[in-house]
Amino acid sequence: MRAAGAARGAALAAAAVTAVALAVAAWRRARPVREVLFFPSQPCCIEALLAEAAEPGAPARPCPCPLPSGGTALSRLVRRLLSARRSLDLCLFSFSCPQLARAVQLLHRRGVRVRLVTDAQFMGLHGSQIGRLRRAGIQVRHDQHSGYMHHKFAIVDRRMLITGSLNWTTQAIQNNRENVLVVEDAEYVKAFQDEFERIWEEYNPANYIFFPKGSK
């Protein structure tokens, strides 16, 4: 009798622990992301992150390179980007980091709608990833003025804003002091999304002005 009572007590305690764990997990999931990333980031390997994103649940094939694969500012940034399921809007002055380009390309292949706004002068520089992304079929638009398109922000699924001082270049990622803020905040996301849509429309090639008014 006493043994049965003890067993029932233990079962109840286990159920209570499970319930608390589930509640904590749900709370963690529901809690909006607020993360700050500081660069420079030490060089890291993102093969495991890309493989997991390309084929979720597939057995991990460890990369033979000696670089750390997690815990760096770059790997955390890549993880946030790869969380995209529907859309990724990028507004980037300079984009020459091959690792970030691979992450963006992977999202495009996975059916995420990627749109990229960039700077006309910087997209032509040596090492720029813009050509590669265009060849992959990603929509790119750029400015038509002398002033720079100097923004550096990304919006994931119209839900998460990634913004800061960081240009998406390996040089900046590995050498510069930079900050990036990752927030799920509806107000901030809306402001940046509106700015993105404004720029996207302004840079629509159909709206280009080839011959300013008054010229013949």
Catalytic residue among 150, 151, 190, 194: 150
Choose the binding region for Zn ion from 33-41, 61-69, 132-140, 149-157 (rule: CB under 5 A): 61-69
Query: Is 152 annotated as catalytic?
Result: yes
Q: Which residues contact 95 (CB under 8 A, 6 or more apart)?
A: 101, 116, 118, 123, 128, 129, 130, 133, 167, 168, 169
* CB contact at 8 A, 189 and 161: yes
Which residue lies nearer to Zn ion by CB, 47 or 89? 47
**Which of 44, 45, 73, 82 forms a contact with Zn ion (CB under 5 A)?**
45
Cis geometry, peptide bond prior to residue 43 (ω within 30 degrees of 0): no
Helix (H) or strand (E) holding 175, with range, is helix 170-175
Task: Give the count of beta carbons closer than 10 Å to the beta carbon of residue 52.
Answer: 14
Query: Is 216 annotated as catalytic?
Result: no
Catalytic residue among 108, 142, 151, 152: 152
Question: Does position 46 bind Zn ion by CB under 5 A?
Answer: no
Choose the binding region for Zn ion from 27-35, 41-49, 79-87, 128-136 (rule: CB under 5 A): 41-49
* CB contact at 8 A, 95 and 168: yes
Question: Does position 10 bind Zn ion by CB under 5 A?
Answer: no
Give the Cα separation of 58 and 53 in Å (integer).
10
Catalytic residue among 119, 157, 185, 216: 157
Name the minimum Å distance from CB 94 to Zn ion. Answer: 25
Of the candidates 164, 130, 148, 152, which has an alpha carbon nearest to the alpha carbon of residue 196? 152
Which residue lies nearer to Zn ion by CB, 144 or 174? 174
Question: Does position 182 bind Zn ion by CB under 5 A?
Answer: no
Question: Does position 89 bind Zn ion by CB under 5 A?
Answer: no
**Which of 47, 89, 119, 143 forms a contact with Zn ion (CB under 5 A)?**
47
Question: Does position 63 bind Zn ion by CB under 5 A?
Answer: yes
The strand pair at 113-118 and 87-92 is best described as: parallel
Query: Is 151 annotated as catalytic?
Result: no
Q: Which residues are catalytic?
A: 150, 152, 157
Residues that bind Zn ion (CB under 5 A): 45, 47, 63, 65
